[in-house]
């Protein structure tokens, strides 16, 4: 059991787990009334998880939720003015619930139903989908007849209609009624045009597929001919021109020579000044993604990343101000070594082929036959999944060697010599 930051944006609590099979997190609610299903008198918030994120249960003063992704959902939320908002789902067939303000709802997909407050909309009404589908989100409303062929949208900040694939036109407005976006097509996908008026860079996008297309604004000119064979781009900020393609991915421009996936390199020395120096980067690859190399530096930091997949990768980072470094070295799947300032971690047998802290916490421990950890004031190692351990914590006077949690244990505890045999403690000064 370990102290843990809250996952609920409430107070600190505890986390008890046997990952990935089971986990329980308890936190203390800092606001809200003591009410709702499952609320305890102390205002604790509980979350039980198994093989996250697929199975999860929550209980607290202001919520009650059961979740089995992607098939099942049941949740209850007390409302500020009284009553409870309930939603449940057996995806993709049955949906239901009730709300003190909007009333109850039920849906049996694809035959008929009314859905409120889930699936990203305030309300959805459908009959024999795709024959009829109506949806509302705040002031926005939309109607589909024989989806996706006919659609009409109105209310809020949008207005438009389509008879696909022959013709369609949609307009989006600001709160002041000024045109923000304008999108239309004729004979989709042979003529599609999109105008963005209110962005910091008003942009025009035109597609006359597959023969011609362009994207134009005050910063960039990009044109495509006979997509996906050839594209032309011009960056007006730096007066830089690019030639490339999509079907055969190649890019040739100033400081860049790429011919995917065989080889490529790119060097940049432009960008925002950071600490008085421009951000400079370099990357290269050979038989992508087998070999890749990335380097970057500015006035504050320098970093390097090298991959030779699947067996080797090396990451290095230095803070130019404090000279603190971070280093990660891995020879997959045999070992992983990480140094972050004064903290050191070494794992023998490290099978994950990517770096994700949450996956390391949940799954890596099952494969690590040897682990070493060292940080300020404490260090230690364990072998054979904890059967043999060594822990040193000088501030507490601890220096212990243990087999099977005390079948044999010797060393120092609290500054005094310690001995344990067959789990029976013996201590001598």
The whole-number pLDDT of residue 41 equals: 46
What pLDDT does 143 receive? 97
pLDDT tens-place string over residues 106-152: 999 999 999 988 888 899 999 999 999 999 998 999 999 999 999 99
pLDDT in tens, 154-185: 999 999 999 999 999 999 998 888 899 999 99
What does the mean pLDDT of the chain come to? 85
Confidence of residue 427 (pLDDT cuts 50, 70, 90): low
Q: Which residues of 17-34 are buried (b: 16+ CB within 10 A; e: fewer)?
A: bebbeebebbbebeebee
- DSSP assignment of 53-85 equals TTEEEEEETTEEEEEETTTEEEEEEE-TTSSEE
Regarding predicted confidence, which is higher, 48 or 364? 48
Instruction: Give the tokens for residue 119.
Output: 């699936």
Question: What is the SS3 string spanning 367-381?
Answer: CCCEEEEEECCEEEE
- Convert the pLDDT of each residue in 18-41 to its tens digit: 777 888 888 876 554 444 444 444
Residue 63 has pLDDT above 70, yes or no: yes
**pLDDT at res. 275:** 54
Give the range among 18-27, 80-89, 332-341, 365-374 with minimum mean pLDDT: 18-27
Is residue 199 pLDDT above 80, yes or no?
no
User: What integer is the mean pLDDT of 405-418?
Assistant: 84
Q: How far apart are CA 208 and CA 376, in angstroms?
A: 63
Q: How far is CA 262 from CA 252, 265, 287, 306, in A?
A: 14, 11, 5, 17
Instruction: Say what the pLDDT of residue 106 is.
Output: 95
- pLDDT-based confidence at residue 1 (cuts at 50, 70, 90): very low
């Amino acid at each position: 059991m370990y102290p843990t930051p809250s996952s609920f944006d409430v107070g600190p609590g505890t986390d008890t787990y046997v990952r990935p099979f089971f986990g329980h997190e308890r936190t203390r609610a800092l606001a809200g009334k003591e009410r709702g299903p499952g609320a305890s008198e102390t205002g604790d918030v509980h979350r039980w998880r198994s093989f996250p994120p697929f199975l999860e249960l929550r209980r607290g003063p202001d919520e009650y939720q059961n979740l089995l992704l992607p098939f099942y959902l049941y949740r209850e939320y007390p409302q500020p003015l009284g009553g409870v908002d309930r939603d449940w789902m057996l995806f993709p067939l049955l949906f239901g619930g009730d709300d003190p303000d909007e009333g109850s709802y039920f849906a049996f997909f694809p035959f008929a139903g009314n859905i409120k407050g889930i699936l990203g909309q305030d309300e959805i009404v459908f009959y024999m989908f795709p024959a009829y589908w109506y949806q509302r989100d705040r002031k926005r409303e939309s109607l589909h007849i024989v989806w996706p062929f006919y659609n009409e949208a109105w209310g809020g900040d949008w207005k438009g209609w389509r008879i696909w694939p022959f013709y369609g036109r949609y307009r989006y407005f600001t709160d002041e009624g000024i045109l923000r976006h304008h999108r239309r097509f004729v004979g989709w996908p042979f003529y599609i045009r999109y105008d963005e008026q209110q962005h910091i860079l008003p942009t025009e996008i035109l597609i006359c597929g597959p023969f011609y297309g362009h994207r134009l604004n005050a910063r960039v000119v990009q044109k495509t001919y006979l997509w996906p064979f050839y594209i032309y781009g011009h960056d007006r900020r730096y007066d830089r021109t690019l030639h490339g393609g999509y079907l055969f991915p190649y890019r040739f421009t100033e400081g860049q020579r790429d011919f995917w996936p065989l080889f490529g390199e790119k060097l940049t020395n432009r960008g925002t000044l950071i600490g008085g120096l421009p951000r400079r980067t370099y990357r290269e690859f050979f038989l992508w993604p087998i070999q890749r190399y990335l380097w970057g530096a500015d006035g504050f930091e320098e970093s390097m990343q090298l991959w030779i997949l699947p067996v080797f990768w090396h990451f290095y980072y230095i803070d130019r101000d404090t000279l603190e470094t971070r280093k990660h070295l891995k020879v997959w799947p045999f070992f992983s070594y990480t140094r972050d300032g004064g903290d050191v971690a070494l794992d023998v047998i490290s099978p994950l082929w990517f770096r994700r802290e949450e996956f390391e916490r949940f799954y890596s421990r099952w494969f690590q036959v040897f682990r070493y950890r060292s940080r300020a004031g404490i260090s230690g190692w364990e072998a054979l999944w904890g059967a043999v351990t060594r822990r040193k914590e000088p501030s507490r006077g601890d220096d212990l060697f243990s087999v099977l949690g005390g079948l044999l244990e010797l060393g120092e505890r609290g500054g005094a010599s310690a001995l344990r045999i067959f789990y029976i403690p013996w201590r001598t000064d």
